[in-house]
Structure 1
Amino acid sequence: MGKVSKNAKVNRGAQKLLCSCGGEIQVKAVFENGKLKTHAVCSKCKKTGRRPKDLF
């Protein structure tokens, strides 16, 4: 087995972000106007924001 770089050893998805309502924040990638943009969406109250910290 080959060596793995130190940057590849990061645990993905370890941090769960919570909205102020108690729902989990999911970050989704949306293709708009020829550009890839990310949107944060609360699974419980359906609030949206550009970044996850906009929903706190």
Structure 2
Amino acid sequence: MADFAGFLASDDQDGIVRLCTLFGALVLSRATKGSPLSGEILAAAHTALTETG
């Protein structure tokens, strides 16, 4: 849990953006449950949140 808090914590608004991305991906994935789009949404959010650069 401390790792997750560290992931969201930042001096700017990046943490809020990450939280919104996570929440939105979860909601959209559940709304499209059973379709290939559900997995694509989660994969896209994962990629966006774990890219370094």
TM superposition score normalised by structure 2: 0.29
TM superposition score normalised by structure 1: 0.29
Which protein has the larger Cα radius of gyration, Structure 1 or Structure 2? 1
Q: Please state which structure has a larger fraction of its residues in helix.
A: 2
Q: Kindly indicate whether structure 1 or structure 2 has the higher relative contact order, using CA contacts under 8 Å at least 6 residues apart.
A: 1
Q: Please state which structure has a larger fraction of its residues in strand.
A: 1
